[in-house]
Amino acid sequence: MPGSWTITADWESLDSGSLEEQACFAALGIYADNVCLTEGKDSLANRLRYAPLLSGYHLAEWLAWNWWRLRWEPRSKAPDWIYAHSVATIGGGYIWPNLNIYSDGQRTTIVATPTPERPQTPFRYIANHSVVIPASEFEDEIDIFIDQVLQRLDLSKITQSNLHDIWNGVNEERCDERIASLRKIEALMGREPDQSDPQILENLLADAEQLSLSGIEELAAEHGQSGAVHSAAELQEVANQKGFDASPRNTVRLQDTSGLPGIGQAPAWVRGYHAARALREQEGLNGECITDCQLCDMSGVQADVLNDKIGSSGISFALDQNSNRSRIVLRSKWHDGRRFELARLLGDRLVGPNGGRLFPATRAYTYRQKMQRAFAAEFLSPFEAVDEMLKGDYSVENQKDVSEHFKVSELTIRTLLVNHRRLEREDLDLDFEAAAV
């Protein structure tokens, strides 16, 4: 299928190294989206290779050890993020491909970039390609590859390797619902298994019973960006001190969601984009700029929520007390930023996960947060109207004029243009959050 990926191993002989390394030495090829991500120039043989000679054991061991983080952790500022997500860090004396792997929870991104050309290096990777695949498909291929490596070890009578121990542990954790939840939260926080404070994890699971597990997972992912872990008690205190009254009952409802792609079935920005278009059409907004009063009315809040110039440290969120009363906290102290954050929370309430009292808008790169940003961008500044105003002139000055018209940031306009291929995409996940600084 388009976007599928695979790891191939043609076993070779090796006369040195550990027994595991000798048993699993191979020409390894990694393919995705009908592109070879391990293609490179072999200067010794003076030829192109699609599958360089590498240690299948080292790769399998790295994939197993980092399984939880590869499966769940988005891009973040966690100090050791690169070691859990970059194949190039495996080491062991081999020249590994410059592949970065990360997930938004629903979809996994694999980014291959060329390695520098160095006279003393006999192999240089030249692949320059990015692919996004369903996270379940990524998970399946890891299972297949590690099982192949374990079978190879068994043929060599190696039955008690470190890989056996790690992978058995991972599979046991995956089968235990409670432990799997803990491992997922740890991964979202940017932590290795069993390296988080057990009490913090227990507190988060307890908070999940009050607020929803999906909401707590979003808070865990924010830890990778800011280093903070917000508890239910802390959020309630912030809501009481800096929040604004809101009425969930008075929030607009999206009457027909049948035309929206399911969560994970399409990129997050596509789901957010279509949800915003559907709401605009439902409310008869056409391509008009949404006023503060309209936005607040649809969000069930008073207009003064957008006029506060203090803002709140941490994250933006809505915390429901019951079906009639909620408190909304916005992080930005700037008017356009607060509009964007309020629109994100509206989008989350409309098409985010069902259930729970907490609706968080964080700086993380999870599917839910990316969907919120895309919803807010399209709802506040509909692409068709933006494109019509620009009339093919995508200069910085023209983008600035359009952003001022729709009361959004220039980055919001630029990202719309990138997503709709009016401008080149420089990054797979341009950060909409900068629009709310």
| 139: Cβ contacts below 8 Å, ≥ 6 apart | 71
Number of C-beta neighbours around residue 145 at 10 A? 20
| Dihedral over alpha carbons 126, 129, 134, 140 (to 10 degrees) | -10
Q: According to the model, what pLDDT value does residue 405 have? A: 96
Residue bearing tokens 């559907």? 278
From CA 241, how far away is CA 312, in angstroms rounded? Answer: 10
Contact 435, 409 (CB under 8 A): yes
The two structure tokens encoding residue 171: 């599979």
3-state secondary structure of 68: helix
pLDDT in 10s for each residue of the chain, 437 residues: 445 899 999 999 999 999 999 999 999 999 998 899 999 999 888 899 999 999 999 999 999 999 999 999 999 888 899 999 999 999 999 999 999 999 999 999 999 999 988 888 899 999 999 999 999 999 999 999 999 999 999 999 999 999 999 999 999 999 999 999 999 999 999 999 888 888 889 999 999 999 999 999 999 999 888 888 899 999 999 999 999 999 999 999 999 998 999 999 999 999 999 999 999 999 999 899 999 999 999 999 999 999 988 888 789 999 999 989 999 999 999 999 999 999 999 999 999 998 899 999 999 999 999 999 999 999 999 999 999 999 999 999 999 999 999 999 999 999 999 989 999 876 434 443 333 33
| 408: Cβ contacts below 8 Å, ≥ 6 apart | 336, 339, 340, 377, 380, 381, 435
Kindly list the domain boundaries of the chain, sorted by start residue: 5-175, 230-436
Which of 274, 278, 285 is closest to 254 using CA atoms? 278
Q: pTM for the full model?
A: 0.92
Residue bearing tokens 């408190």? 327
Q: According to the model, what pLDDT value does residue 427 have? A: 44
- The one-letter amino acid code at 399 reads Q
Q: According to the model, what pLDDT value does residue 426 have? A: 61
Which of 78, 36, 260, 57 is closest to 149 using CA atoms? 57
Taking CA atoms, 311 is separated from 42, 103, 172, 330, 338, in Å, by 56, 30, 44, 6, 9
Q: According to the model, what pLDDT value does residue 433 have? A: 38
Q: According to the model, what pLDDT value does residue 125 have? A: 97
From CA 124, how far away is CA 118, in angstroms rounded? Answer: 8
Helix (H) / strand (E) element for 25: namely strand 25-32
From CA 389, how far away is CA 383, in angstroms rounded? Answer: 10
- φ/ψ of residue 411, rounded to 5: -65, -35
Which of 433, 243, 273 is closest to 340 using CA atoms? 433
